[in-house]
């Protein structure tokens, strides 16, 4: 489980250490351009360095160069990134310092004792249990070649290989395939089934849903459906098919989704945290997501049935638009008579 990320001199965060501690469910809110994504760019820096190369751009982030990424473009500063992870009863820490665009320090610790640099096999293993999905998820192609994906994270952060990933789950007879179809139907009640037929003559695979409105039954290729259904396919697959005890980070899961679909997505998160001991980390601007958690905190949930959030392991983190101190503000329900997360979002974070 990812326990914390701490950064210095990266993006809009200055030399004062800025740290976020994560719980089973962590929701990060804040204005545009406040720095929410910067913490995950830092995490993905650790991923690239763990595989031997410091990348300024990848399919997960774009930072251009050291000069563009360091706080205030001051190349005399060091970018510093620390992350901590829990694995059973052990605590691990990753430490990275970047000086003038090069790795200055790379250290990996277990229970306070240095093991090696960030390329240590255990560190790569811990990172492989953390799946990250960016807010920009690309449109599903009409068809794709039947190749097999590989890499540290089998499902690309932008969902670009979702069709072949689904094919892998289908061909492996993943027992959770029916669960995926059930949750997709909750998102869109007219969807009866998700399938990935293979065209043997062309060696391609297409993803489609069987849609049934009570009168007409028709197959529709996913690429021809709305942006919301295309987007949700990646999110559902990541949360359902990722290994037990893994961490799934999703930026702006609400993109293109109807409020009712968002409510079902929140239920899925809550179920997987309980049943598969997964850790879910979200960034959001969505009034629907904020209102759902705010209502649960206040005890005024009106949607039935629903899978309740474990409020004891919910951490709500605000990122303000300030440049400098006071960017990270934890939501404290006791400060408000109603525990109003919406007031926190609009008043404290602007």
The pLDDT of residue 104 is above 50: yes
Q: What is the mean pLDDT of residues 112-117?
A: 95
Provide φ and ψ at 86, rounded to 5°: -110, 135
H-helix or E-strand containing 248? Answer: strand 247-251
pLDDT at 299: 82
> How does pLDDT run across 36-54, given as a tens digit for each residue?
999 999 999 999 999 888 8
Q: Quick one: pLDDT at residue 251?
A: 95
pLDDT at 339: 54
What value does the mean pLDDT take over residues 5-13?
94
Query: What is the set of domains in the chain, with CATH numbers?
Result: 1-129+243-350 (3.40.50.300), 140-242 (no CATH)
**Cβ(318)–Cβ(345) under 8 Å?**
yes
Check whether 96 has a pLDDT greater than 50.
Answer: yes
DSSP secondary structure code for residue 70 in this structure? B
What are the tens digits of pLDDT across the range 170-203? 878 888 988 998 999 999 888 888 877 666 566 6
Q: Is 10 helix (H, G, I), strand (E, B) or coil?
A: strand
What are the φ/ψ torsions at residue 308 (nearest 5 degrees)? Answer: -70, 150
**Does an H or E element contain 199, and which?**
strand 198-199
pLDDT confidence of residue 198: 63
**Does residue 76 carry a pLDDT above 60?**
yes
Q: Would you give the DSSP letter of residue 37?
A: T
Mean pLDDT for all residues in the chain: 87
Residue of 59, 66, 70, 117 lying closest to 93 (CA atoms): 117
Percentage with pLDDT > 90 across the chain: 47
Per-residue pLDDT tens digits for 195-248: 776 665 666 777 888 888 888 888 888 888 888 888 888 999 999 999 999 999
Q: What pLDDT, on the 0 to 100 scale, is given for residue 149?
A: 47
Tokens of 144: 């794709």
């Amino acid at each position: 489980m990812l326990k914390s990320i701490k950064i210095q001199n990266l993006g809009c965060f200055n030399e004062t250490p800025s740290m976020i501690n994560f719980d089973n469910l962590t929701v990060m809110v804040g204005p545009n351009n406040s720095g929410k994504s910067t913490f995950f760019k830092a995490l993905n820096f650790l991923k690239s360095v763990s595989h031997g190369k410091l990348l300024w751009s990848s399919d997960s982030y774009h930072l251009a160069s050291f000069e563009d990424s360091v706080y205030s473009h001051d190349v005399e500063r060091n970018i510093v990134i620390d992350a901590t992870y829990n694995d059973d009863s052990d605590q691990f820490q990753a430490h990275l310092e970047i000086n003038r665009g090069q790795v200055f320090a790379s250290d990996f610790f277990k229970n306070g004792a240095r093991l090696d640099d960030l390329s240590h096999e255990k560190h790569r293993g811990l990172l492989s249990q953390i799946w990250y999905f960016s807010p920009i998820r690309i449109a599903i192609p009409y068809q794709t070649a039947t190749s097999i994906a590989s890499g540290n994270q089998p499902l690309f952060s932008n969902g670009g290989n979702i069709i072949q990933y689904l094919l892998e789950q289908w061909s492996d007879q993943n027992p959770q395939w029916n669960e995926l179809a059930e949750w997709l139907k909750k998102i869109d009640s007219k969807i009866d089934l998700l399938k990935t037929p293979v065209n043997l003559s062309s060696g391609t695979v297409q993803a489609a849903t069987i849609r049934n409105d009570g009168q007409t039954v028709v197959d529709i290729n996913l690429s021809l459906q709305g942006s919301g259904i295309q987007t949700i396919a990646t999110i559902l697959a990541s949360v359902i098919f990722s290994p037990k005890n893994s961490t799934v980070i999703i930026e702006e899961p609400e993109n293109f989704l109807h409020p009712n679909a968002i409510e079902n997505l929140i239920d899925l998160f809550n179920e997987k945290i309980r049943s598969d001991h997964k850790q879910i980390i979200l960034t959001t601007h969505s009034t629907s997501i904020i209102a759902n958690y705010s209502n649960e905190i206040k005890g005024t949930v009106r949607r039935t049935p629903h899978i309740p959030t474990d409020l004891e392991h919910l951490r709500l983190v605000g990122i303000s638009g300030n440049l400098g101190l006071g960017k990270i503000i934890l939501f404290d329900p006791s400060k408000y008579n109603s525990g109003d997360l919406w007031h926190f979002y609009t008043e404290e974070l602007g």
